[in-house]
Structure 1
């Protein structure tokens, strides 16, 4: 496995047929084509969760360039840099070309799997045999489906297939993505989703770790409209790093990582104590006097001229503002927050009052940076609650829930389940969701997923010993905090099949490898999302021939497995797929993987292309027209209808969350706990009593003695990352300086010059970053755009198995370093999220 990049390229060119690595004709991804007439073909980019509609220009069967789809209203027909890198992904010579079989039974990091090419029949038959063995032994629940990124065709492979073979274990990547962010919105206004924003009319943007010009969501929309926002609104960005967006802001608040909840409650205190809340939205004290006095509780009554007069606050569209003050905010002054957050009290007060002055046209924008951290659920609630105080939830210029997009419903699987299979589905889920240690409160106890904990479950064999898994579009070994745990877990897992475009870290532990089509250019599918007050459905369709023997993960491959299972005596999956996914136009039953792929996509998108949704948005009246236009958009979101109609327990925006209270009561009952306090203690949060139900400050949690590990380790995302999948593209490295503070062809750790003086280091020095869990070696860059006392590095590099560009020696030596080696394997347990932000790891640095 000791192969450097140059030797690897030579080897793959000579032995592609033997080792299963793809060869392509000699054409560079950036070849200039002139004098030939090509065709623009619509598809979808999934380089981030914007899922923008794009078009690819195809000349003589070759993809030449990409652009935004001019029919797309959400992203204005524009794209960001990410889709361009996808050209190098699809034409990557390191792609997996054919099915592979492991011949070395030993598994581990740096161990050569000794893959050999096999036929699709042998690969599928091997997988089917393993599934059948579990079914026959009554252990079908010991199968798991690992899903990473996906299209909305995931209902087939991810949702229905595990159930049809008797497994409750469909494990999504969701909790390593943004579940803590969603937690704050759900337990204040009952939205478990990403938000939309009326940026056309906003007058203030308060961004909590948000860098919309580079990452997070809706990037093309934000790039397109940010000039207008900058002209008409004030912008404050809370981030320990000077991001691209912070560089264009009126205020940069370089917060100490993990202390976002302290800053949010201090801002709320300022707004209420200063009488600056939106009285038309929240309400007011009946007598017009402001009883929100710093350091004092709002009294139940006062004495006036010898008479006891009740103090009454008449709320309008919110619930529990006085309770929030009395339980949490009364003493959370800016002066209290200053030493905790590192932000001067004067600046906290100024930004809070500026934000409030914009009223309902102010947006408190919560992103993963502020809440994907230990105890991050309450940081999410606190930051989002500021929108309630100024009345911007579902208001012009504010933050919105957005419009839903029609699509076909997943057919019921119950008629296809035998008694044995139905009984197996009642087994506990492998990730331990809904337990005292992992509440994962997605609308209900255990409603979420605890992706990272699957590694512990495999190692500890709790609640049972997992025996088999299939994964697609995922790379948990690389992408989850504490990589060593997933490495050990995958060593132990008896059988793993990986569906993938590239030989990633997860693939190196696989027994069977199946080549996947590239999502933008080679497959059918569809995605749904929202931007710019429009919901939309964007189609995926093949515009070039798939490389090698690649097949579609969510349709073709699962149909092949279903066919093989039927031959072996378990025909429920095949019957379900054939009986429910006939061609909507002809009624033909799918008999091949290719037919199933096409028919199922047509089935799910039928409410769009059959014209039945024309009154809700764009006019599309045939399958052909959907393929040609590529995207269907709703009418613009109708603002204001959610006010007093939120799906919370009170129908109001909840500062005191009756919705959270109800779910926690159910959680206590399910787990036979003595109280909600016991549940909160088990989830590693400090609040007790009614304070649990309001947005509040939770102290940050860090690993490492500050005397030994004096610095805090933090990270940011790149505008080139394509969710960690573009690191084998040369363009990624050639343009890395588009990320402020970063350097071309390098993976640098950035520290403030003040911090550097303490350690006697300068730009270009090699350093070792040492944490309690692991250490990494990298180059340092001194940069004023980093808060002193922090070490910041971009996430994405450090692949030891992704290709000849991403690694120095494929299979053993990475190019750059993986932040997840340093990040502590910890959780925000209320949401189930990994703590990938918040400075969980303390570190020290050593000059090499």
Structure 2
């Protein structure tokens, strides 16, 4: 039956040999294809002849193809998933979806999926090495893993175990936290620093919110997108698609992006900024807003006599420290709203809901004119001024939409602060038509693990982590704490250096760091040297090729139980992942069934702590029964953690939103909706040190000083170690930092940057023919190809034509792609969509899966492994790599 599935425009060029991974799975193919699963394509075609609602049942689940995490419904006919739609009960996404959920149908029925546990037989690891996978049973696989873990514990070195997490449901801590902590390792490493931590850094040190934001598109009057492409990517895609047309009737849209994105193509203003110079543009806009007297005076405040003293190039008298500061050290201004010691001067600026606007002007903004910014950003001064004043004119109904593009840069922490601080200047934080937070939901957390840690686990789980967080060069200041976050991509360097310890055993799930991280060669080397590695995955990805065990995971949308929490359209929501079809193959649920099986095996070997934690801590909240197997454990854990949504006896039931009528009602409806967000309740209660929106961040000052003291240095020493150039009190305000690039400009004349596809299910779509056949929905891209986009001006200078195969080389590596001459790109830059370049994952994703030949190029092979170190983020944006382009 697999021969009936189209793999390209030319099947002959896409055949996969029986060697390699699929060879090991061959024994299961006949049984699998005899069932209904791979008849899906022909069966669905026959079903289409009937009326749409004539057969089948709509069942609720959740799409996790991006971080919108939308509630959806799956139509199941005769045990087969045949169609998807938005959950009509979901208030957040209006019962709508984007293209990504539809692609999941090809994922779940992908003939290249991992079908049963596989064991490596070739001890030599490396790219291009045939692992020699052979099928084994789950029992044998879990025996192998349990033996390796027990070796670490028996040798007194449990810290040499690591668990790497990619995407997840909120049953995550059952595996991600409990397994390493109860074994005795500190090394649970999340993917989040390759996803967005720098984006959270800015809002946290301005308003105390370490989270993604929601946006009131219904009432806004101006949207300023910083690298965001809301109708294609980012975090409220279905809501944005559904609302964008209505919003455009009432609001102005300006897009800051070196690429003409789908959103930019429909915008009123396109600002094709030089990659990495977003911060210069943001502080120049802040300068204009203050210099022109356009700030929101009812939110920020004003000079006592109403005269604007924000004159370009001139400082403003700063208020004196207040006696009301309760003994706190106050050497750089007062707590916002406190009365200064003297109010006789007409030059006093009385702040209301913000803190430090005068200090911000004096330290950074007074000289950041549009003319100054034009030289650095490539954006005309008159456009900078026009956009800034248009944004300010919308007042509190304006949105400065921060995204990874403007923050996940080598020096992007302060750019993130600057772009978000614009919301503070116009008073749109926590305001109607502006930028808001989330509504609380009634979900719970996993039980405390400490009672199940023995002395070895309790002590060794406190050791330093392999990702270098908290070191001088990696403050990772999540929540203001030195080392409070994660530095995902630095874990490879820690593994290679065996610092702070050696990793001997590792599990990774729902992740592919050998493909998805910049400087991906480091992960290939680290995984090659790893003595024992287990990969839980749906498809044999690049990371799988270094594994000693590959374990087949249930697909999250169709075969797995879990729940997620999200927000869109001023509503928070809790949405269930449900097993809506019987699994095709011998797959297990990664976050629940697999750790339960492992706990059983460890108990057989005399270490029952994890097993007792699962069986004693996770009882059915309706019956009180303890789980006896992985499936029961999954259900009981899910019911426990979502109990506040559906159990009328729970203390949080109905407090924040829907009152679902029991567990079966929750399963049927699939989603819990919160009340609509209420504006203004956070004003003067922001989680900053002052309780205000901080333009001079006392919160960041405390965090940086704490990190400096930890390493016996100064704040300037921290900035130097983290590759920032600002010094002194600039460290505490949003300020301009020049872009950091790798590669000599003469040898590598082009700034390379990447963008995201509206079809990428977080890099997991490339083995879907629908993805390849519709790739041109992304502006500038071509179907069944991987293109490097170049402005015709630059292409003419190099004598390059459309369709030429070109070699793209940076200081880090070389890839090849097809050239696309495209006017929607800033000259001097070249761009490529992320998602192609797989040398594994399947017969469609790779040009030749069996021979490890990639289709196109993986951007991460030419992106320098740079970091935004204050947050711990990977600096995948802002043009960290210069490249040269040559015809192949």
Match of 1:386 among 403, 422, 440: 422
Please tell me whether residue 509 in structure 1 is matched to residue 527 in structure 2. Answer: no
Structure 2, unaligned runs of 5 or more: 1-11, 321-342
1:472-487 matches, within 5 Å, as 472-487=509-524
Task: Give 1:17 deviation, angstroms.
Answer: 4.0
Tell whether 2:315 aligns with 1:276. no
- Distance (Å, rounded) in 1 between the aligned partners of 2:370 and 2:17: 57
Equivalent residue number for residue 182 of structure 2: 164
Cα distance in 2 for residues equivalent to 1:561 and 1:490: 22
Is 1:44 aligned with 2:84? no
Superposition deviation, residue 4 in structure 1: 6.5
Deviation readout 1:310-329 (Å, 9 max, x if unpaired): 62100000000000000000
Query: How far 1:757 moved relative to its partner?
Result: 1.3
Q: What does the per-residue CA deviation read over 1:686-745, in whole Å, with 9 as the maximum and x for residues that have no partner?
A: 111111000000110111111111111011100000000111000001111111111111
Kept after mapping to 1: 8 A contact 2:24/2:132 = no
Instruction: State how far apart, in whole Å, the 1-side matches of 2:603 and 2:789 are.
Output: 56
Distance 1:431 1:714, change over 3 A: same
What's the secondary structure of 2:594's corresponding residue? helix
Written as runs of structure 1 = structure 2, the 5 A alignment for 1:198-597 is 198-300=216-318, 309=345, 311-443=347-479, 444-597=481-634
Q: Hey, what does 1:782 align to over in structure 2? A: 821
Alignment check: 8 A CA contact 1:482 1:824 kept:
yes
Provide the residue aligned with 2:739 in structure 1: 700
For residues 78-129 of structure 1, give each alpha carbon's deviation from its aligned partner in whole angstroms, at most 9, with x where no partner exists: 0000000000000000000000100000000010000000011110010001
What is the alpha-carbon distance in structure 2 between the residues aligned to residue 821 and residue 183 of structure 1? 27
> How many Å separate the matches in 1 of 2:40 and 2:387?
53
1:522–1:541 Cα contact (<8 Å) kept: yes
Give the drift of 1:672. Answer: 2.2
User: Closer, same or farther in 2 for the Cα pair 1:208/1:166, shift >3 Å?
Assistant: same
Query: Counterpart in 1 of 2:15?
Result: 6
Q: Tell me, what secondary structure is at the counterpart of 1:26?
A: helix
Q: Deviations over 1:273-317 (max 9, x none)?
A: 000000000000111111100111113599xxxx99462100000
CA contact (8 A) 2:21 2:132 kept: no
Equivalent positions of 1:701-780 (< 5 A) are 701-780=740-819
Bigger drift between 680-689 and 74-83 goes to 680-689
Would you say 1:833 and 2:873 are equivalent positions? yes
What per-residue deviation string (whole Å, max 9, x for no partner) do you get for residues 29-66 of structure 1?
Answer: 85351445200000000000010000000011011100
The question of whether the paired residues in 2 share the 8 Å contact of 1:20 and 1:98 is answered with no
Q: Under a length normalisation based on structure 2, what TM-score does the superposition of the two structures give?
A: 0.93
Call closer, same or farther: CA 1:190–1:14 in 2, change over 3 Å.
Answer: closer
Report the equivalent of 2:167. Answer: 149
Aligned-partner Cα distance in 1 for 2:153–2:450: 17
2:204 partner SS: helix
Q: Supply the distance in 1 between the matched residues of 2:154 and 2:22 (Cα, whole angstroms).
A: 44
SS of residue paired to 2:39: coil
In structure 1, what is the equivalent of residue 722 of structure 2?
683
Q: Match of 2:672?
A: 632
Residues of 1 paired with 2:317 and 2:732: CA distance? 20
The aligned residue for residue 844 of structure 1 is 884
- Asked if the contact 1:20–1:117 (Cα under 8 Å) also holds between the matched residues in 2, the reply is no
Q: Report if the CA contact (8 A) 1:20-1:99 is conserved.
A: no
Shift of 1:26: 2.8
User: SS of the counterpart of 1:56?
Assistant: strand
User: 1:773-812, aligned counterparts within 5 Å?
Assistant: 773-810=812-849, 811-812=851-852
In 1: Cα distance, 2:279 partner to 2:603 partner: 54
Deviation at 1:8, TM superposition (A): 4.2
SS of the equivalent of 1:364 reads: strand
* Alpha-carbon distance, 1:409 to partner: 2.2
Could you tell me which runs of 5 or more consecutive residues in structure 1 were left unpaired when the two chains were aligned. none
Higher deviation after alignment, 757-766 or 235-244: 757-766
Matched, 1:111 2:150: no
Asked if the contact 1:501–1:516 (Cα under 8 Å) also holds between the matched residues in 2, the reply is yes
What secondary structure is seen at the aligned counterpart in 2 of 1:87? helix
Structure 1 contact 18–116 (Cα < 8 Å) conserved: no
In the superposition, the TM-score normalised over structure 1's length comes to 0.97
How far apart, in 1, do the equivalents of 2:433 and 2:46 lie? Answer: 43
Cα RMSD (Å) of the superposition? 1.7
Separation in 1, partners of 2:477, 2:381: 34
Question: 2:113, 2:540 within 8 Å by CA — same for their partners in 1?
Answer: yes
